[in-house]
Amino acid sequence: MNLFNLEHKRALVTGGTHGLGMAMAEGLASAGAELIITSTTPSKLEEALDYYKGKGYKASGYIFDVTDEAVAKEKVALISKEIGDIHILVNNAGIIKRESALTMPVEDFRRVIDVDLVGPFIMAQLIGKQMVERKEGKIINICSMMSELGRNTVTAYAAAKGGLKMLTQNLATEWAKHNIQVNGIGPGYFATSQTEPIRVDGHPFNDFIINRTPAARWGNPEDLQGAAVFLASKASDFVNGQVIYVDGGILATIGKPTNED
């Protein structure tokens, strides 16, 4: 299984302090990667590092906002100096603001685009320069089913994630000749602390997701680990510009009538 071995590789995961980002980071670490985690919240970063180290993983952390180009540039240079160049970048940091398109403040729309799309571009550009010089690298952008579909109240998020899909394809187009693979992961609906209040029998949205998903369940965060390891490893050296949707089959189907087994 050397194709999936990430020993001697350093993986930077933005926002890898909780939820799906933490699950993917743990998957990379379990395959041998050294973790570098970013966050904007010191307490969350400290808790996450304690968790990773408690599992026996090698991990370090840095506080900065990926949308601040000047600070991000300084931090990436510091990481390279203190730890070494990055082999794997996972652009996971993101936000969502649920608001009707008719009433959403423009500043909220801009903030979502800034975090979910501009931030990944800044990080990819900064670390991509290292990868081009080294003629090797893996970039994984965390996209979404909203990279493909619309939904009420998530106009800014869908616009950003749709843009992130196209950013993935364009970076792959430019950098493939440098032996850099740029791909994405599109999570479906997952069982996290954020979705816990609506994951109860009888809740309309829970019933909708169960009926809409061919696998008939919510995803577990660990379900993302295989895709993350694959796209970070030698196994994906000729895979480029793709988005792997880990969604239990939602995007493959038009759905089924509510009375159908």
Active-site residue identified among 57, 157, 189, 245: 157
**Residue 56 to residue 8: CA distance in whole angstroms:** 15
The neighbouring-strand residues paired with 139 are 89, 182
Query: In the annotation, is 157 catalytic?
Result: yes
**Residue 75 to residue 37: CA distance in whole angstroms:** 12
Helix (H) or strand (E) holding 39: strand 34-39
| CA-CA-CA-CA torsion sign (30, 35, 38, 44) | positive
Q: Which residues make Cβ contacts (< 8 Å) with residue 114, sequence separation at least 6?
A: 67
Residue ranges of the alpha helices (H) in 68-223? 69-82, 106-113, 119-134, 155-175, 204-212
Helix (H) or strand (E) holding 26: helix 19-30
* Active-site residue set: 157
